[in-house]
Amino acid sequence: MWEFIRKQPGQLLYNSYQHASLVIQAVVIATVIAIALAVLVLRIPRLAGVANAISAIGMTIPSFALLGVLIPLIGIGWQPALIAVCFYAVLPILRNAIVGLQGVESSLVESARGMGMSQARVLARIQLPLAWPVILAGIRISMQMSFGIAAISAYVLGPGLGTYIFSGLSNIGGAGAVASAVTGTLGVVIIALIVDGLLVLLSRATTSRGIRV
């Protein structure tokens, strides 16, 4: 394996960057979508059951099946990879965002409204900051899951380290096949751990001391 890495350090670093970039961009997009949907559910409580059902059903859809559906619609490359990662990334964030926003005490919201704050200001100044630790926990789960989905997206020629994994598995028994698969797998794990550590630091920097878990 070390010989395999030594022969192509530049390409390995580039693919690692592409893998991390795909996942981070997808999770950022998914976070915006999930929070927007959670706010909608907060405004229309009867949608909570629908949102939770969609989240639960979405997690049961095999990633290969979703990618297979996207190929005739979009083709191959980074576009179907980004859509697939975004789709799965939304699900845990949405569930946590709904739980976090619904968990904010109504008395705090009513007090803020009584002080003349608009709905938008109450959301930005009260509800989202208090729900942020729960939302961020969903983001961490989503991020770790997305690294695996991004690796599978090599099936549609998506960017990243999944290329090494698929190449190794498709040439099993050949020279360097095992090294390629192991290198890709370990690369995904290492990057996922690094990003999770950065999210822990982000949590400490963006969460008020009074509500830290």
Tokens representing 207 are 């969460």
Q: Are 118 and 127 in contact (CB under 8 A)?
A: no
Q: Alpha-carbon distance 3 to 58, whole Å?
A: 41
What crossing angle do the helices spanning 128-152 and 9-43 adopt, rounded to 10°? 140
Candidates 5, 2, 20; CA nearest to 161 is 20
pLDDT at 125: 87
Could you tell me what percent of the chain has a pLDDT over 70? 95
Residue linked to tokens 């409204």: 113
Ordered by start, the domain boundaries in the chain are 2-211
Q: Is the pLDDT assigned to residue 213 strictly greater than 60?
A: no
Candidates 33, 213, 34, 202; CA nearest to 130 is 213
How sure is the predictor about 118, in pLDDT bands with cuts at 50, 70 and 90?
A: confident
Helices (H), the chain: 2-7, 9-43, 48-58, 63-74, 78-102, 106-114, 119-122, 128-152, 162-170, 177-206
Tokens representing 76 are 């191959």
210 three-state secondary structure? helix
How sure is the predictor about 1, in pLDDT bands with cuts at 50, 70 and 90?
A: low
Q: Is the pLDDT assigned to residue 6 strictly greater than 60?
A: yes
Burial of 127 (0-12, 13-18, 19+ CB in 10 A): buried
Name the architecture of domain 2-211: Orthogonal Bundle (1.10)
Tokens representing 26 are 């997808």
pLDDT at 210: 63
State phi, psi for 100 to the nearest 5 degrees.
-65, -45
Per-residue pLDDT tens for 136-179? 999 999 999 999 999 999 888 888 898 888 888 877 767 778 88
Total-model pTM: 0.89
